[in-house]
Amino acid sequence: MVNTFPTEENKAGLNREDFQKIVNDKQTDLFILRNKKGMEVAVTNYGCALLAIMVPDKNGEYANVVLGHDSIDHVVNSPEPFLSTVIGRYGNRIAKGKFTLFGEEYNLTINNGPNSLHGGPTGFHARVWDAEQLDEGTIQFNYFSQDGEEGFPGNLEVEMVYRLEEEENALVIEYRASSDKTTLVNLTNHGFFNLAGITNPSPSIESNIVTINADFYTPIDDVSIPTGEILKVEGTPMDFRTPHTIGERVNDKFQQLIYGAGYDHCYVLNKPETGALTLAATCTDPASGRVMEVFTTEAGVQLYTGNWLNGFTGAHGATFPARSGICFEAQCFPDTPNKSYFPSATLIEGDEYQQVTIYKFGTL
């Protein structure tokens, strides 16, 4: 691990010593990324968790716009284990923790009702990654996931880079992975965003104005597994092709919103071609004037409105009640390995998985 860039006097007010600990025989630490415009991102190599994203509002005032913690102990023991972490090997749910590859059935750890969620309880979010800060605005993470980890086949080598653009306030996340055996890979970042800035209590994201570049979504059943249908958003509360606030329809007596206790659904992104880096979603907080644009090469983006946040305490006493964070998780569709007509999440031995997702911040 290489960490030679200064962390003192960071805008987030985090202390490096609070993040230095041996966890599972590996060293954890705090890293601060900066760009020329004054944006700062604080991360740790435990789960590659985003601890703070410091960007200005319409008046130039900086605030942390991602839900995070202020010590490694709090990250490790968070009531929300996926709070703003990397997710893998498989983001989202796999029905009953089972899938078949080339005739062989695999069984994963069950950790969400009857299903496997986000790679299992000791998925990539709960691992200490090797980390090297390459320059003031770039950090590279590496992790070796052993064959059989959480039930997934193949030794998987993963490289992930967090990089700040120099001339605009954008966090670029680049993923690469390869395996010595055909396996599943569906990586994402589970950033919980609050563009108003985290406080005690952090304000609701129901006033956020959202657009999503998707004509279709994947409806779910009562345990949040896709039914297999790909339905039009048109004429439903799922339609964000034009701007709507989250709160406008989130409590509608619409069966999909009842199943998800709000929005917790994968949108099928409109793409000119597979793998194109395109605008997936836009989120605006009217009060602060902050705007976030999400670009991705992925086929889908999961909109999650923090329905199960329960008011626990995060960084500097900020609290996170229900719907105080909004997530745009770029990914393959949920339960893809059990839906043969969904775009594949299979990584063939010898091939390379690649993904790029960008979170770009600005103001009205």
C-alpha closest to that of 36 among 202, 166, 165, 134: 166
Whole-number pLDDT of residue 35: 97
Q: How confident is the model at residue 26 (pLDDT cuts 50, 70, 90)?
A: very high
Which distant-in-sequence residues (6+ apart) come within 8 Å of 116 by Cβ?
90, 93, 94, 96, 97, 108, 109, 110, 150, 151
67 vs 83, 94, 189, 193, CA distance in Å? Answer: 7, 26, 13, 6
Q: For all residues of the chain together, what is the average pLDDT? A: 97
Please state, in angstroms and rounded to a whole number, the distance separating the CA atoms of residues 221 and 339.
Answer: 14
Whole-number pLDDT of residue 3: 79
Residue 317 DSSP SS3: helix
Predicted TM-score (pTM) above 0.85: yes
- Rounded to 5 degrees, φ, ψ at 333 are -70, 155
DSSP per-residue string spanning 332-351:
SPTTGGG-TTSPP-EE-TT-
Beta-bridge mates of residue 178? 157
224 vs 29, 177, 323, CA distance in Å? Answer: 35, 27, 18
What the block records as the tokens of 61 is: 């005032």
Q: Which residues are catalytic?
A: 190, 329
Whole-number pLDDT of residue 67: 98
| pLDDT over 80 (residue 2) | no
Chain segment 50-81, per-residue pLDDT in tens: 999 999 999 999 999 999 999 999 999 999 99
Chain segment 154-188, per-residue pLDDT in tens: 999 999 999 999 999 999 999 999 999 999 999 99
What the block records as the tokens of 8 is: 């003192």
Please state, in angstroms and rounded to a whole number, the distance separating the CA atoms of residues 273 and 288.
Answer: 35
Question: Percentage of the chain with pLDDT > 70?
Answer: 100
Interval 4-15 mean pLDDT: 91
Q: How confident is the model at residue 8 (pLDDT cuts 50, 70, 90)?
A: confident
Please state, in angstroms and rounded to a whole number, the distance separating the CA atoms of residues 21 and 33.
Answer: 20
Q: Assign residue 84 a region (left: φ > 0; alpha: ψ between -120 and 50; beta: otherwise).
A: left
Tell me if 14 sits within 8 A of 143, measured CB to CB: no
Please state, in angstroms and rounded to a whole number, the distance separating the CA atoms of residues 85 and 190.
Answer: 5
Tell me if 304 sits within 8 A of 117, measured CB to CB: no
DSSP per-residue string spanning 176-238:
EEEESS-EE-B-EE---B-TT---SSPPPSTT-EEEE-EEEEE-B-TTS-B-S--EE-TTSTT
The domain spans of the chain are 1-199+303-364
Beta-bridge mates of residue 160? 141, 175
Question: Percentage of the chain with pLDDT > 90?
Answer: 98
Interval 107-116 mean pLDDT: 98
Q: Domain 1-199+303-364 belongs to what topology?
A: Beta-galactosidase; Chain A, domain 5 (2.70.98)
Whole-number pLDDT of residue 325: 98
Chain segment 272-330, per-residue pLDDT in tens: 999 999 999 999 999 999 999 999 999 999 999 999 999 999 999 999 999 999 999 99
Tell me if 124 sits within 8 A of 149, measured CB to CB: no
